[in-house]
Structure 1
């Protein structure tokens, strides 16, 4: 129609741009299909690997023939949330394709749409002579891209990089969290630069705000800085078993302000990051998960303690999960009120199956002592009467006539 109307050159330019736009749509559709196929294959591979891990754990529990005691630390460290990772990656792929389409469309049509250049001359609001509407739109666009990237990039990192690296759950969590912080900082900086905001123009304002917020929100800033220290220094990591005060549990999340600890009752404690940096805590799995089991056993007086200690060591050495290095130790600790106190100390490679192992050791010790005729002591109390003649009188004074008669008959 344009050619028939005499606009031959215009029709040629528009036709070429339309053809380029069609090729762009086709290319992005192919790229999107390939990326979705790659995502599906990666998802299946990770699901298969996790299924194999679960099968191996089930076979181990069946071989032990004992009920499995679920470890929170194992739950945190063992598996990646595949649904969340896939959803994040899929959203990021769609967003990247959309942004790519917008960017290339702008490059294709920018010469044909010179009217949009008027946005660079319109102030964003009355009185804002140096900030144009184009700068404001670009700044908002940068913030939207930053939000989408910071929310969904961790899933892409998990599928592309982190799963191929020898990193534990804590290192993966720290990497994804720091990547979020970095992307958010870069996005805010780019948005400010789009509006013409430079460091030299706001440094005094930042300094004044820093002093004011430092006094007014001191605890919040302290917790934020402490959270960054936790992610870099890593005195605790996601999946670590720690004891803080009277609470023992697993670190499940480390956020900017606070850290979440889940105890063995599945209760979640939210602890400010400052307390974890400035206070004292016990990390059971910081550098080595080897832990010691202590079994206290009291045997009756007259027992052969050497033989009893040998049985304790025999039970420990026969258990498949007890380490041979460090070797188990059985000691005779002392003489109690009702027993001879023996202690068995042995080591486990990890905190998994700790309660199961402790139960099996107790059962094995009880069976071994029964077979050897060794009596496990229990509290006893011997009462000695100085004068048997005074018993009937005492019973009579309390009004228990039948009791007094019974005592007299027994004494007689």
Structure 2
């Protein structure tokens, strides 16, 4: 039985890797599919090794079925979260709502999937922090996969220009800036839209498409820099919050100056000596 356990551990560690080198790499499969088959094969080898070990110890199903039933009830109550995460891990490997290397958003966290394990999945965010997320969260919660079938995503840059600006010139300039950026895709085409009249500005949006989540922030940065530079050259003012004060001029405006007691000087509140002497 010890030999069987040793062979099972060695096979579970090495055989999936050998199979991947000899067979899976030659098949038209992506990295996520190869990883799923690699993991499932490791689980299968472990399960077969456990059954063979029980057989070598002389334990038959008829003699241990009641013990298994009792353990199943105990595990169902005491380890239900772990069992649920294990089952969800199998669902992830079979259904493949995401793969290793995909960029996902779970809750308020976004990052790249680096490892799918029995109980949890590891997601590395943009600060290179490794988030250990239970598999149940991916199945029962809201999941956004930014690269499941199409890695192209849209970047929206809001721009507000001052009232009185030439709207057609603003639209043409925004499109020119987008087309000159090498990271912006030509298909789907970028668009510049005049969305409406704001409190302090004429509201535009520049919408462009980029390939991959890793390009979203750099593209937004370069577009912001180019918009500020080109608008300054063209004399188009970028609006900022401001308020106008209108005074009622139908009647006299009363102005009252209020100062501190120190500004009044020593003469205030001091009687004139000449007034008391009659001089």
Q: TM-score range by the shorter chain?
A: 0.7 to 0.9
- Coordinate RMSD, CA, aligned: 2.2
Q: Deviations over 1:74-121 (max 9, x none)?
A: xxxxxxxxxxxxxxxxxxxxxxxxxxxxxxxxxxxxxxxxxxxxxxxx
Q: Is 1:361 aligned to residue 223 of structure 2?
A: yes
- The partner residue of 1:395 within 258, 276, 279 is 258
Give CA-to-partner distance per residue, 1:294-351, whole Å, 9 cap, x none.
0000111101111111111122122223222222121111111211110011111222
Quote the residue 1:107 is aligned against: none
In structure 2, the residue matched to 1:313 is 175
Q: Following the alignment from structure 1 to structure 2, what is the Cα–Cα distance between the partners of residues 161 and 351? A: 32
Match of 2:35 among 165, 173, 178: 173
Residue in 2 aligned with 1:200?
62
1:191 to 49, 53, 66: 53
TM-score, scaled to structure 1: 0.59
Q: Is the 8 A contact 1:395 1:401 kept in 2?
A: no
CA deviation after TM superposition for structure 1 residue 182, in Å? 1.0
Runs of at least 5 residues in structure 1 that lack an aligned partner in the other structure: 1-138, 403-412
Secondary structure of 2:208's counterpart equals strand
Report the Cα distance in structure 2 between the residues aligned to 1:238 and 1:227, rounded to whole angstroms: 13
Higher strand share: 2
Q: Does 1:282 align with 2:144?
A: yes
Map 1:29-44 → 2, pairs under 5 A: none
Structure 2: any 5+ residue segments left out of the alignment? 265-279
- Describe how 1:210-289 pairs up with structure 2 within 5 A: 210-289=72-151
Does the Cα contact within 8 Å between 1:331 and 1:344 map onto a contact in 2? yes
**Residue of structure 2 equivalent to 1:140:** 2
Aligned length: 262
Match of 2:208 among 335, 343, 346: 346
Give the C-alpha shift of residue 255 in structure 1: 1.2
More helix by share: 1
- Hey, which bits of structure 1, 4+ residues long, moved more than 4 A? 384-389, 398-402
